[in-house]
Chains A and B, each alone.
Chain A
């Protein structure tokens, strides 16, 4: 019996033969460079390491996962800059949203890498906002990036980018609302720019900063607990401030969004999950297990909502879970273009996951929507646009976050994920908006 068990398990080994060794060069580069993973990944990994080692008292408040505010604060400190580093900024105009990292090309630096900063709309039903990305590409290297935070009510709705490398410079970005005309770091001022790759009206400051430094501090965040020491990077880092078109400072009021779940201000989100919903890899990447928690007794089909999705053809395409909202709550305090999701659903096609959503204008649902920032027409598919983000292989949860969409009336039908553009177009053409009722509007209290 025992040997039978081992034989059975051996029989489902996804890699019955040993894989070839990977190239040694990335290891050597990493040894030379220190650590080239994205800054945020390093922060959270540091938290993970703290669970194994005795935490240093000085950083305990940052590392303890029970202090989400502290972690948020740490995540919003851009590593890789310093007071001295700021002085070496090369100009007052923002760098473009896509370009090349300057400097001498060495294994331990990002010099020579092409970077691209993009935003995609948030798809979760009942919410509005933008998801920023930064993707670096080089020959033989896949892109990687960091997700940020869409905060439409703040002058800054996304910030991030720097990657800790041993040498050279790295890219940092601050995405802001229309009223921000410049970003000041220490004594330097960087003028913001608008771009078709940003939501209409929004602006960006992109700049290079030396990879090794003390950081860049964004004020307006909750600080460490009373009595806790200020961490060195924040204490020594220059603060970032915003200026309006007249050069006057703008208050930064970064707010921590409420935890996921029903909101008093927004519409209640109704979750549903198909009985055959599966998680494709956890805890094994090639296995499937039911997604249903033993205690799940919720909806197994989409609930009634202002928006509904339908499917025609493509029987292999399965909806597995999603969210609907019974009414739409327009966004009063959003800056620039804001899309509002009225339904989202997760589909699977041949094992590939997709997020699908219907987006309407966030300020005035029913009004003609602006373009998907940075998206380009797809040849041979009239009315279909796409925005590629590349894949993010530094994450165990790696996936493709590319977006493909088409206009349906005054809404966008958006498909995100899958194996690539061709599959997203296939899914997009198999789906339709079967209901879009914009008469159910409720204005959230100010």
Chain B
């Protein structure tokens, strides 16, 4: 990479690493966040020519894939270790809990499908437009708009149920694996 590329990469990092870091911290434990950010910018360096003029959706899309890869790898790692050590409860996710924010909204978010949740979070937390968010997810703007609409509706229904009597509370099927 020539000097121009280096300068461009450094500028890209300084301008957007914070946004990528925030995105990652919202989706994985903080200790691993900087490692993921580094992975994202390693990809950015190697594909610098592919980075568009509006780089944030592109970078977040890479971060999303890096996180997905790590989660898959980690799940396999834990599954392997579980087989090797016969110690299945060690595979449970741990640390980073903040029970003070375990409010119904987060509970409902956690219970949504990953597709619905990501659509909502890209708009609400990352502050992206529908066009930008669609680039993160690699779908068309129309597809994202439909996805977001469905996610909003499901969130509202689930939140209403969450506020209802306990017997009617939806139970999350995700993260419920014990053994």
Q: Are A and B genuine complex partners?
A: yes
Report which A residues bind B (CB closer than 8 A): 1-2, 5-15, 18-22, 24, 26-27, 30-31, 37, 40-41, 44-49, 51-52, 65, 68, 71-72, 75, 122-124, 127, 129, 131, 142, 147-150, 256-261, 271, 273, 278-294, 296, 321, 323, 344, 346, 348, 350-353, 355, 391, 393-400, 417
Assuming the contacts A5-B120, A19-B25, A289-B107, asked whether A396 and B18 have C-beta atoms less than 8 A apart, the reply is no
Q: Which of chain B's residues have a CB closer than 8 A to the CB of A142?
A: 31
The reply to whether A49 and B124 form a contact with Cβ atoms under 8 Å apart is no
Give a binary string over B146-165; 1 marks a CB under 8 Å from any A CB, 0 the rest. Answer: 00010010011001000000
- Among A31, A40, A148, A417, the residue within 8 A (CB) of B94 is A417
- Cα A273 to Cα B177 in complex, Å, equals 12
Chain A proximity of B81: nearest CB distance (Å): 5
Chain B proximity of A362: nearest CB distance (Å): 14
Task: Please name the residue on chain B nearest to A150 by beta carbon.
Answer: B85
The reply to whether A24 and B32 form a contact with Cβ atoms under 8 Å apart is no
Q: Which of chain A's residues have a CB closer than 8 A to the CB of B90?
A: 124, 355
Query: 30 interchain pairs (CB within 8 A)?
Result: A2-B149, A9-B105, A9-B120, A15-B25, A15-B26, A18-B18, A19-B21, A24-B13, A44-B74, A48-B70, A48-B76, A49-B69, A68-B79, A72-B80, A147-B81, A147-B85, A257-B86, A279-B92, A282-B174, A282-B175, A284-B109, A292-B171, A292-B176, A321-B89, A346-B89, A351-B96, A351-B98, A352-B95, A395-B77, A400-B95
The reply to whether B106 and A396 form a contact with Cβ atoms under 8 Å apart is no
Task: Please name the residue on chain A nearest to B37 by beta carbon.
Answer: A22
The reply to whether A296 and B178 form a contact with Cβ atoms under 8 Å apart is yes
Assuming the contacts A14-B101, A124-B87, asked whether A280 and B13 have C-beta atoms less than 8 A apart, the reply is no
Q: Which of chain A's residues have a CB closer than 8 A to the CB of B174?
A: 282-283, 289
- Cα A72 to Cα B81 in complex, Å, equals 9
Task: Please name the residue on chain B nearest to A353 by beta carbon.
Answer: B94
The reply to whether B69 and A45 form a contact with Cβ atoms under 8 Å apart is yes
Query: B51 at the A/B interface (Cβ < 8 Å)?
Result: no
The reply to whether B29 and A6 form a contact with Cβ atoms under 8 Å apart is no
Interface centre among B84, B105, B152 (most CB of A within 10 A): B84
Q: Can you list the 10 inter-chain pairs with the closest CB atoms, starting with the nearest?
A: A280-B97, A351-B97, A21-B17, A282-B175, A293-B176, A48-B72, A9-B124, A393-B31, A149-B84, A48-B73
Report which B residues bind A (CB closer than 8 A): 10, 13-14, 16-19, 21-22, 25-32, 34-35, 37-39, 41-42, 45, 65, 68-74, 76-99, 101-103, 105-107, 109-111, 114, 117, 120-121, 123-125, 149, 152, 155-156, 159, 171-179
The reply to whether B87 and A5 form a contact with Cβ atoms under 8 Å apart is no
State the majority secondary structure of interface residues on A: loop
Assuming the contacts A44-B80, A51-B72, A52-B65, asked whether A321 and B95 have C-beta atoms less than 8 A apart, the reply is no
Q: Which of chain A's residues have a CB closer than 8 A to the CB of B41?
A: 24, 27
Chain B proximity of A414: nearest CB distance (Å): 14
Chain A proximity of B39: nearest CB distance (Å): 8
- Cα A122 to Cα B89 in complex, Å, equals 11
Task: Please name the residue on chain B nearest to A35 by beta carbon.
Answer: B42
Q: Which of chain B's residues have a CB closer than 8 A to the CB of A296?
A: 176, 178
- Cα A296 to Cα B17 in complex, Å, equals 42
Given contacts A30-B38, A281-B94, A282-B110, 13 further A-B contacts (CB under 8 A): A18-B19, A21-B18, A27-B42, A72-B80, A124-B87, A260-B83, A281-B97, A282-B174, A283-B175, A287-B102, A288-B102, A293-B173, A353-B95
- Cα A283 to Cα B175 in complex, Å, equals 7
- Cα A260 to Cα B174 in complex, Å, equals 21
The reply to whether B73 and A44 form a contact with Cβ atoms under 8 Å apart is yes
Q: Which of chain A's residues have a CB closer than 8 A to the CB of B98?
A: 14, 286, 351
Task: Please name the residue on chain A nearest to B121 by beta carbon.
Answer: A9
The reply to whether A45 and B93 form a contact with Cβ atoms under 8 Å apart is no
Chain A proximity of B8: nearest CB distance (Å): 13
- Cα A417 to Cα B69 in complex, Å, equals 26
Q: Which of chain B's residues have a CB closer than 8 A to the CB of A288?
A: 97, 99, 102, 106-107, 110
- Cα A352 to Cα B96 in complex, Å, equals 7
- Cα A72 to Cα B76 in complex, Å, equals 11
The reply to whether B25 and A259 form a contact with Cβ atoms under 8 Å apart is no
Q: Which of chain A's residues have a CB closer than 8 A to the CB of B81?
A: 147, 149
Q: Which of chain B's residues have a CB closer than 8 A to the CB of A280?
A: 93-97, 99
Task: Please name the residue on chain A nearest to B70 by beta carbon.
Answer: A396
Q: Which of chain A's residues have a CB closer than 8 A to the CB of B85?
A: 122, 124, 129, 131, 147, 149-150, 257
Chain B proximity of A133: nearest CB distance (Å): 12
Task: Please name the residue on chain A nearest to B16 by beta carbon.
Answer: A21
